Amino acid sequence: MELKIDALTHSYDDLAVLDDINLDIRAGEILCLVGPSGCGKSTLLRLIGGLERPTTGRVIQIGEPPEDSLNPLTFIFQDFALLPWRTVHGNVSLPLESHLHDVPRREAVIADVLERTRLSEFRDAYPRQISGGMKQRVAIARALAVRPAILLMDEPLSALDAQTRELLMEDLVDLWQRERFTAVYVTHNLEEAVRLGHRIAVLSRRPGRIRKILDVPDDLENRDILKPGLASIRADLWQQLHDEAREADRQLTR
Amino acid sequence: MDAPTDHDRPLREVAFRGGGFRHQPIRALSIGTFLALLFIWETGSRTGFISNLVLPAPSEVGTAFYDLWKSGNLWDHLSASLARLGAGWVLGTILGIATGFAIGLFSVMRASLAPLVAAIFPIPKIALLPLFIIWFGIGEGSKVGLILFGTFFPTVIATYGGIDNVDRTLIRMGQSFGLNRWEIARKILFPGALPAILSGMRITAAIGIILIVAAELIAAEKGIGAFIQMAGSLFATDQLVAGVLVLSVLGLAVNALIGLAEKHLLRWRA
């Protein structure tokens, strides 16, 4: 399953947020969306995931999701969005409860996904008892449990400290190696984009337009941010963003 | 130039200036204050400094309470009050949570009911007792109705306030995983609003106790309120204070029960 964003424009009342977005989301690749804060990249993600309705234009699904996919478009949120009154197990179980009514099968899926994210021993912990990195891992486990066709990741590492972010980036690379998932990855962090993106779309300040789409040629597993190739892509990205970010900083919010 | 050494400059430890503003539990003092007050009261009464007519001695109150207990009247009165309180409070709470949910979930309900609730909430419900007697009769109906009415409105307000305060990203998360409206209400909104609902229960339990006694003072043969009223009209101040004591203990017990429920239901909170 792939997605095509076709001439999408969005505004809140009379505030234009996104302007004429055209974008393809290809199977098996991670597409990063970067842009200055307030450029509408998170809004774009919500529009892609059907949580908001675009003012004009469409998000088109090409092909059918795999048979076993319980929730084809699955979000991972910046602030994890875990239910504080449910344990790790309960949080992963939540979306399965409405799709998988057969309890032994459900438990098997949960056990498997906790194993894959190395969370099995924390199964009975409440969110308040675990670290931020662990919380995001639970959210990733919850997302994997419903077998998404496309992951929609909204600044998934932005609420974490630098070291945890580094660890989780490694985890995501590993995960992609194993599962070859498709993802739209929104971030304001250029390093994340360069490390995790197969393609990087740069958005302008509000109203967000696509300024440029960069290809990152290297394989995910041997990306070294310090190597000249990636460093120059990062420099190029910053070149694109610098003035936009400066201007965006001076914009009033609504 | 030589680096300065410790020898030629004064040494002083940095003074501590943090601390304070944090409460330490001093259990002995809590109990001590209570006992000291009882002691002063008792001595005052024995020496005649406090007239018996004004305030009975604690020992007399104790005796009155013992008599009340021994004669079986305590249970008679208490059970009558508890039955009214229980029925009214449970019904008011259930209806209140249901209405609060309706207001929290549906714009139509909010627009039509929320202003109404805000308008009726501040009315002292005891002023409506004569109306309730006309509507529901002089018997149990009017008293249960009064408590139901008195606990309903604060519960509604606590419930929809709790729902409004549930983190919106959790709702969006539920939607993003394809949960339907009912599942979101049951699995996300209800547990999220539960802390607010439980603290609402603390308040409505106290309101219930105040209302039941007020209603029994006016029209009842049995009940703690009726007992206090009877004692008052006979100027049996020792019995009166004993009755009030029962109310205080009742309030404490209900509070402790809700505390236990919170501890169990909200164990996910820090």
pLDDT tier at B3, thresholds 50, 70, 90 = low
Distance CA B29, CA A108 (A): 55
Q: Does the pLDDT of residue A109 top 90, yes or no?
A: yes
Contact B175 A51 (CB under 8 A): yes
The mean-pLDDT minimum among A161-165, B57-61, B217-221 falls in B217-221
DSSP β-bridge partners for residue A60: A4
Distance CA B81, CA B88 (A): 11
Q: What is the ipTM of this complex?
A: 0.90
Six-digit token pair at A43?
Answer: 């809004």
Q: Does the pLDDT of residue A121 top 80, yes or no?
A: yes
Mean pLDDT highest for which of B20-24, B96-100, B230-234? Answer: B96-100
**Chain A residues touching B174 at Cβ < 8 A:** 94
For an interface test with A, which of B167, B168, B177 has the most A Cβ atoms less than 10 Å from its Cβ?
B177
pLDDT tier at A136, thresholds 50, 70, 90 = very high
Q: Does the pLDDT of residue B138 top 90, yes or no?
A: no
Partner residue facing A71 (CB), from B177, B266, B268: B177
Q: What average pLDDT does the segment B196-221 reach? A: 90
The residue of chain B with its CA nearest to that of A125 is B268
The residue of chain A with its CA nearest to that of B187 is A94
Interface subset of B 191-210, CB within 8 angstroms of A: 191-192, 194
Q: What is the CATH number of the domain that holds A48?
A: 3.40.50.300
Contact A77 B177 (CB under 8 A): no
Q: What average pLDDT does the segment B3-19 reach? A: 80
Report the pLDDT value the prediction gives residue A253, as an integer from 0 to 100.
66
The verdict on domain B58-265 having CATH code 1.10.1040.10 is: no
Contact B177 A146 (CB under 8 A): yes
Instruction: State phi, psi for A82 to the nearest 5 degrees.
Output: -90, 145
Partner residue facing A71 (CB), from B169, B178, B192: B178
* Chain A nearest CA to B1, separation (Å): 43
DSSP β-bridge partners for residue A73: A150
Partner residue facing A75 (CB), from B176, B180, B270: B176
Six-digit token pair at B6?
Answer: 């410790």
For residue range B102-112, list pLDDT tens digits in order. 999 999 999 99
Share of chain A above pLDDT 90, in %: 69
For an interface test with B, which of A71, A85, A94, A109 has the most B Cβ atoms less than 10 Å from its Cβ?
A85
**Chain A residues touching B187 at Cβ < 8 A:** 83, 94, 97
Report the pLDDT value the prediction gives residue B4, as an integer from 0 to 100.
58
Contact A81 B172 (CB under 8 A): yes
Share of chain B above pLDDT 90, in %: 66
Q: Which residues contact B265 (CB under 8 A, 6 or more apart)?
A: B194, B198
For residue range A4-23, list pLDDT tens digits in order. 999 999 998 888 999 999 99
**Chain B residues touching A73 at Cβ < 8 A:** 176
pLDDT tier at B6, thresholds 50, 70, 90 = low
The mean-pLDDT minimum among A145-149, B5-9, B45-49, B132-136 falls in B5-9
Give the domain range for residue A95: 2-249
Six-digit token pair at B20?
Answer: 């304070």
Domain layout of chain B by residue ranges: 58-265
**Chain A residues touching B198 at Cβ < 8 A:** none
In a domain, A12, yes or no: yes
The residue of chain B with its CA nearest to that of A152 is B176
The residue of chain B with its CA nearest to that of A47 is B176
Report the pLDDT value the prediction gives residue B162, as an integer from 0 to 100.
96
pLDDT tier at B1, thresholds 50, 70, 90 = low
Which DSSP state fits A72? S
Go through B157-181 and write b for each residue having 16 or more CB atoms within 10 A of its CB, e for each that does not. bbbbbbbeebeebbbbbbbbbbbee
The residue of chain B with its CA nearest to that of A147 is B177
Q: Does the pLDDT of residue B7 top 80, yes or no?
A: no
For residue range A23-34, list pLDDT tens digits in order. 999 999 999 999
Contact A85 B191 (CB under 8 A): yes
Contact B178 A85 (CB under 8 A): no
- In terms of phi and psi (left: phi > 0; alpha: psi -120 to 50; beta: otherwise), the region of A26 is beta
Which DSSP state fits A121? G
Task: Tell the residue number behind the tokens 């709790």, with chain if given.
Answer: B162
In a domain, A33, yes or no: yes
B269 and chain A in contact, CB less than 8 A: yes
Taking only Cα atoms into account, the Rg of chain B, rounded to an integer number of angstroms, comes to: 27
Distance CA A254, CA B219 (A): 59
- In terms of phi and psi (left: phi > 0; alpha: psi -120 to 50; beta: otherwise), the region of A118 is left
Contact B268 A128 (CB under 8 A): yes
Q: How many domains does chain A have?
A: 1
Q: Does the pLDDT of residue B22 top 70, yes or no?
A: yes
Which DSSP state fits B55? S
Distance CA A82, CA A84 (A): 6
pLDDT tier at A96, thresholds 50, 70, 90 = very high
**Chain A residues touching B178 at Cβ < 8 A:** 70-71, 95, 98-99
CB B248 within 8 A of CB B213: no
Angle at B84 between CA B148 and CA B77, to 5 degrees: 150
In a domain, A254, yes or no: no
Partner residue facing A51 (CB), from B170, B172, B187: B172
For residue range A48-65, list pLDDT tens digits in order. 999 999 999 999 999 999
Mean pLDDT highest for which of A109-118, B11-20, B50-59? Answer: A109-118
Share of chain B above pLDDT 70, in %: 98
Report the pLDDT value the prediction gives residue A140, as an integer from 0 to 100.
94
Q: Does the pLDDT of residue A254 top 60, yes or no?
A: no
- Mean residue pLDDT of chain B comes to 90
Q: Does the pLDDT of residue B77 top 80, yes or no?
A: yes
- Mean residue pLDDT of chain A comes to 91
Partner residue facing A74 (CB), from B176, B180, B187: B176
Q: What average pLDDT does the segment B203-215 reach? A: 91
The residue of chain A with its CA nearest to that of B194 is A85
For residue range A173-212, list pLDDT tens digits in order. 999 998 899 999 999 999 999 999 999 999 998 888 999 9
Task: Tell the residue number behind the tokens 């055209």, with chain if given.
Answer: A22
The residue of chain B with its CA nearest to that of A92 is B177
CB A84 within 8 A of CB A77: no
Report the pLDDT value the prediction gives residue B215, as an integer from 0 to 100.
87
Report the pLDDT value the prediction gives residue B5, as an integer from 0 to 100.
63
Q: Does the pLDDT of residue A251 top 80, yes or no?
A: no
